[in-house]
Amino acid sequence: MAPLDTPITTDQTPAAPAEGMFRELLWVHTHLRQDLQTVRRLAAEARDGLSPETILAEIRTLQTNSPLWRLRFGCIRYCRFVNLHHQLEDTALFPTIRAHDPALGTALDRLQADHRVVHAITDRITAVAERVPGDASGVSRIELVAALTELEEHLLGHLTFEEASLGPLLSSWDTWPLE
């Protein structure tokens, strides 16, 4: 695990050309990575004693500065967005990919397993984030930092694997297949 003070790398997209529907996937992933940089900084500052009021102010700043957060996603809504994105992939995109390229089945199975892990982490973030303001002991703050760090590490690996695995096929699609 990288220290929270270490900047994350956002240029982890694969060498495959961003063509077709792959551009759309990369657009979402780019914004997720950018927001994770802010989440990392906020987690480090929360670890170092940032007041709950300042944490909430920082989250409000995220809401006004980032494209995804501007769409009214706060920390908890961000977690919900990630889960919704994965649910849509699992129910709409991945069955279509399986039908078009059965050889990607193992990669899709891994991605769906990753989705379940990310969902568990985001559920934990949501639960802990709600406890931070009323927890004078600081235990929930430590739990929140750990959960945010785990989300960052797991989600960045997941995004990179998904782009490398699905990029070539999605680059060949100019529109989403209807079947």
Between the two ends of the chain, the Cα-to-Cα distance in Å is 42
Q: Read off the pLDDT of residues 18-71 as tens digits, 9 standing for 90 and up.
A: 667 787 778 778 877 877 887 788 888 888 888 888 877 777 776 666 554 443
Tell me the average pLDDT of the chain: 80
For 125, the token pair is 């973030």
pLDDT of residue 138: 76
Q: Give the per-residue pLDDT at 69.
A: 41
pTM for this predicted structure = 0.65
Candidates 169, 179, 116, 148; CA nearest to 35 is 148
- What whole-number distance in Å separates Cα of residue 74 and Cα of residue 16? 32
